[in-house]
Amino acid sequence: MNLIELIEQEGFKPVKRGTRWWMSCPLHEDATPSLSISNKDKGQLWHCFSCKKGGGPVEFLSEVHDVPIFQAKREWAVLNGEPLPNGDRELLTLIVESLPPHEYLTNRGVSEDTQKKFHVGYCEDYQALLKQFNLDENTAESLGLFDLTGRIVLFMIWMEFTR
């Protein structure tokens, strides 16, 4: 799947003019089409001349679905029948961030804000967590995970703010 196919699958209708495709940017009100899609050495790229956002298919998914890049990478992999990323920091971050704030931690004096800020979670059901992320026990173990049921989980990451 290429970027044009993705955009069309998302329900948008780019129009080819010359060597580029044009459409109204889905990220803001757009009276005149300002989003351009062009062929580059490494595939197709999009750029909006109004909001100045752009990139490849992963960035498009991230912006249109309002999800983090690591989640958009997973969506792109699924759309293309590729294996899901399973050995990187982004997946571990996604797993820990998927653990909702928990009453146990709140009762221990850890506020929901602190749980989110410092990526602290409480795992009630490890098998359900593995199933949620389509991981088998061996893959989870290779990531450094083990049966987390009934355990507090802490994952420290360096945050980069790009917005």
pLDDT digits (tens, 9 = 90+) for 38-82: 998 778 999 999 999 999 999 999 999 987 776 788 788 888 888
Domain span(s) for CATH 3.90.580.10 in the chain: 3-79
Please give the DSSP secondary-structure letter assigned to residue 59. Answer: H
Cα separations in angstroms, 41 against 45, 55, 56, 75, 86: 10, 13, 12, 23, 28
Angle of helix 89-98 versus helix 69-79 axis, rounded to 10:
110
pLDDT, mean of residues 133-160: 69
Per-residue pLDDT tens for 19-34? Answer: 999 999 999 999 899 9
Question: pTM score > 0.75 for this model?
Answer: no
Q: Is 20 helix (H, G, I), strand (E, B) or coil?
A: strand
Contact partners, residue 145, CB within 8 Å, separation at least 6: 92, 95, 135
Q: Which CATH architecture has domain 3-79?
A: Alpha-Beta Complex (3.90)
